[in-house]
Amino acid sequence: MPGSGRAQVSVFPSGPELGASLAALVWQEAGRGTGPGGRFSLALSGGSLVTLLSRELLRAPEPCRDWLWAYCDERRVPPEDPESTHGQYLAQLLSKISIPEKQVLSIDHTLPVEEAAADYSKKLKEAFPGQDIPVFDLLILGLGPDGHTASLFPDHPLLQETQKIVAAISDSPKPPPERITMTLPVLNAARTVVFVAIGEGKASIIKRILETEEENPLPAARVRPGHGKLLWFLDEAAAKELTGPVEQHSVL
pLDDT at position 3 over 50:
no
Rounded-to-5 percentages of helix, strand, coil across the chain: 35, 20, 45
% of the chain with per-residue pLDDT over 70? 93
Query: Per-residue pLDDT averaged across 140-152, rounded?
Result: 97
Whether pLDDT at 251 is above 90:
no
**pLDDT (average), residues 50-61:** 86
Q: For 104-171, give the DSSP string.
A: B----TTS-HHHHHHHHHHHHHHHSTT-SS---SEEEE---TTS-BTTB-TT-GGGG--S-SEEEES-
pLDDT at 230 exceeding the cut of 80: yes
pLDDT of 62:
66
- Rounded to the nearest integer, the mean pLDDT of the chain is 91
> For residue 85, is pLDDT > 90?
yes
Q: Residue 97: pLDDT band by 50, 70, 90 thresholds?
A: confident
Largest pairwise CA distance in the chain:
47
Q: What is the mean pLDDT of residues 123-135?
A: 95
Q: What is the pLDDT of residues 193-228, one digit of tens each?
A: 999 999 999 999 999 999 988 899 999 999 999 999
Predicted model pTM: 0.93
- pLDDT bin (cut points 50, 70, 90) of residue 37 is low
Note the pLDDT of residue 4: 43
Q: Name the more confident of 2 and 82.
A: 82
Q: Which fold has domain 17-193?
A: Rossmann fold (3.40.50)
- Stronger pLDDT, 60 or 211, i.e. the higher one: 211
Q: Name the residue among 201, 196, 209 with its Cα closest to residue 240.
A: 201
* Strand pairing category for 179-182 and 166-169: antiparallel
Section 167-174 average pLDDT: 95
Residue 252 pLDDT: 46
Q: How far apart are the first and last CA of the chain?
A: 28
| Selected residue with higher pLDDT from 115 and 251 | 115
